Structure 1
Amino acid sequence: MAELTAQSPMDGMLPTRIGGVALRAADLGTLTLVMPYRGADDALSGALEAAHGLRWPEAGQMTGTTERGVMWFGRAQALLIGVEPVEGLAVHAALVDQSDAWAAVEIEGDRAAEALARLTPVDLRPGVFGVGHTARTEVAHMAVSLTRTGEATYLLMVFRSFVRTLVHELGAALEGVAVRAMR
């Protein structure tokens, strides 16, 4: 019988550095989509805080960190990151394991926002899209979750099957920004 070995969808592509900007794979651990049942928002928020010490996020926000947090993931949806949900949460919400569905790439550096601006319609200026802000949007015509995790750091999540295209597009944008900076 064949021996199967788990592989990252980014094997051989990351990490890399282009024009002073780092691209690296982000291991977010367990990812659970949490969708509150009708009328259970407050109860879910309380249960989430009691069980994991994490608050339910406002729209377009993230609470906690990418190692252990809750990311807004669309209307009446959030992604629990880095922790296994306790069984009690299932009383208040539908829980769906998404750990193998998504690939996460972190981009960090002074020109990261400049490169991303070539690929997404999101206004990335710090006063508009600050640390902890998140959006479901597009990057180079791919559906993504885009989160600002630091002053010059962003987390991009795409379906696993799109990660090679994402890394390619980010690399091309970074090369363009690097060339322009040399002028």
Structure 2
Amino acid sequence: MSDLTQVTRVTSRGMITLRGDLTSAQIKKTVKAVTGQAMPSSGQFLGDVTSGVAWMSPDELLLVVPYADVAKSVAQIDDTLKGQHYLAADVSDARAVFSVSGKNASDVLARLCPVDLHADSFGVGQFRRTRMAQVAAAFWMHDTGFEVVCFQSVGDYAQDLLTQAAKNAAGSRDYA
């Protein structure tokens, strides 16, 4: 790996899938209570690397909370949304998370994902669900780089992809 880009596997990241009517005032209030954030718009992540919320689809959010707070957060969701149609599921252990940071972080992801990561097109707080080579992945940009999420079952493959792309990004901007 280059000294320009670091790829780190993140352990113990709390993640909750929340599905339901995202226009519901009660769901908006619940998201704010659990993450401290407002409801994100399409393609947006609000928060930081330890706590936040990402827009996954018109009826799905990914809530990021400290790992130790997941059970308490799911219980809070269950309490506040009682009687409404929703799904809240702890997906923390089903996901692998990577931090990609450093000067060439966007180049690393550009090598692997069909997303325009030019600074004029993708910035802090933006979120994408996409493919990373042969696997489903999602990522968001923050002040120091990107957080990348994929299924735990392909975590080793994803780590190898990111690590190799980081090595290659150090020497060339040729994506061929």
Answer whether TM exceeds 0.5 for this pair. yes
SS at match of 1:129: coil
Structure ranking higher in helix proportion = 2
1:88 to 67, 76, 79: 79
Identity value in percent:
24
TM, length-normalised to structure 2:
0.82
Matched with 1:119 is 112
Post-superposition shift, 1:44? 0.9
Structure 1 unmatched ranges of 5 or more: 1-16
Post-superposition shift, 1:103? 0.7
Matched with 1:97 is 90
Post-superposition shift, 1:160? 0.5
How many angstroms apart in 2 are the aligned matches of 1:146 and 1:94?
A: 22
Post-superposition shift, 1:128? 1.5
How many angstroms apart in 2 are the aligned matches of 1:29 and 1:23?
A: 16
**Number of residues paired by the alignment?**
163
How many angstroms apart in 2 are the aligned matches of 1:70 and 1:62?
A: 6
Structure 2 unmatched ranges of 5 or more: none
Matched with 1:76 is 59
Per-residue CA shift, 1:117-141, capped at 9, x if unaligned? 1111111122211101001101112
Matched with 1:174 is 166
Matched with 1:5 is none
How many angstroms apart in 2 are the aligned matches of 1:155 and 1:132?
A: 11
How many angstroms apart in 2 are the aligned matches of 1:73 and 1:27?
A: 22
* Preserved CA contact (<8 Å) 2:18 2:60: yes
Matched with 1:109 is 102
1:159 aligns with 2:159: no
TM, length-normalised to structure 1:
0.79
Q: Which has the higher contact order (CA 8 A, sep 6+)?
A: 2
How many angstroms apart in 2 are the aligned matches of 1:78 and 1:42?
A: 15
Matched with 2:19 is 35
1:62 aligns with 2:45: yes
Which has more radius of gyration?
1
SS at match of 2:159: helix
* Preserved CA contact (<8 Å) 1:147 1:156: yes
Post-superposition shift, 1:47? 3.0
1:67–1:140 distance in 2 versus 1, CA, 3 Å = same
How many angstroms apart in 1 are the aligned matches of 2:17 and 2:164?
A: 31
* Preserved CA contact (<8 Å) 2:35 2:63: no
Q: C-alpha root-mean-square deviation of aligned residues, in Å? A: 2.1
* Preserved CA contact (<8 Å) 1:29 1:99: yes
